[in-house]
Amino acid sequence: MKLTATFTTLLAVLVASATAAPHPDLLVATLQPRLLFPSSGASADVPDPTADAFYKPPAGFESKANGAVLRSRNMTTYKIKNSAGAFQILYKTIDAEGNADASVVTFVVPQAPVSPARLVSITQPEDAAAPICAPSYQIRKSSGDGTGLEAYLAKGYWGVVPDHEGSKSAAFVGPTEGPATLDAIRAAIKFQKLNVKTTQIGLTGYSGGAHAAAWAAQLSKTHAPELKIVAAAVGGVPVNPKNLLLNLTKGLFSGLAAVGVVGEYNAYSDLRAFLDKYLTPKGRDLVQKGRTNVCLAQAVTQYAFLDILPLINRTDPLNESPIRERLAQNLLGGDGSISPIPTYIYHGRDDDIVSRPDADAYVKQQCAGGARFTYVVDAGQNHITEAGKRATDAQNWIIGRLNGSIPVPAAC
């Protein structure tokens, strides 16, 4: 099949799924057209993160606490239903190697906040390893529509949309995405002077966004134990990066595997040194482009059916150090920890992008350790159609946990 025809088919699936969704606005947020088809380059009024001084942390920020507010700005052009306005906050966090980092969160104010405060973090399916794909930048260029926050704002809940990949655009790197998400919530609470002891919090996301939300839930007890996170709703969760790469390479969505490679390259200095030594010229070109101007749609179209492993000039690169160790560190739940957060997790039985057996194994491991998971697998659903099928249920789970109508589930 020619690439143009393939991508036309993909677009048709996206449109059909959105039309069939019980609440199309939820699916729009799930699939995030802004991140699929981002505005390219910078404009005079909205510079991209590499040219915007707002994204550069002040001297000495490394000594600040995680979640510290470094600077903020009012988003005067922000337009979204049920919102009284929004701010962007540069905050302190850490990267995958434990070094100080700074990222940006878009913090949305409801028109009629409830008391005590409730807050929902929606991590977007960015699925890209270039700064121009960051949610904060794309939200500014598109006036903020399509974040998926509208229904939560209508309930009086505060909204948080983190740049969960951090400043290095560490796509699919859990040890970056989890802390960046948690520290974004910390920053929002501090900025608005909300009561951290009473502010109830929900985490939600689908696909790449679910990856960040699930890692945030997994790390919440150790990284941000003071946060009162009472719910997570995640679907199509990428669990095992090695299996994800092997399943996707040479297929229609092999570009997502390429994004994962570039994300790991961005995140880890030892992996970067290894790949700089052994990447083929084609591999070097992929990494260079992936770090600068390739977002989700470009990754899918430019790298469909690409065989990823031959780009690394080694016989068995996934079993060589440091790739082997970094992949192991990015296995969700691979350290044996159990998520302390009541979680609604859902997956299409026929998911053609993110392996369902990996999600099955993760849920089994977590449930054996006492996790409070509600796991739903839908027959006949692939990765894209599952997003539409369960979008409303995931939203209702978060709202129900935050308003108390859904009790803490029993251990699964």
**What is the set of active-site residues?**
207, 351, 383
Determine the residue type at 55.
Y
Nearest to 205 by CA among 182, 223, 232: 232
d(CA 269, CA 267): 7
Cβ contacts of 323-328, under 8 Å, gap ≥ 24: 323/271, 323/274, 326/264, 326/268, 326/270, 326/271, 327/241, 327/242
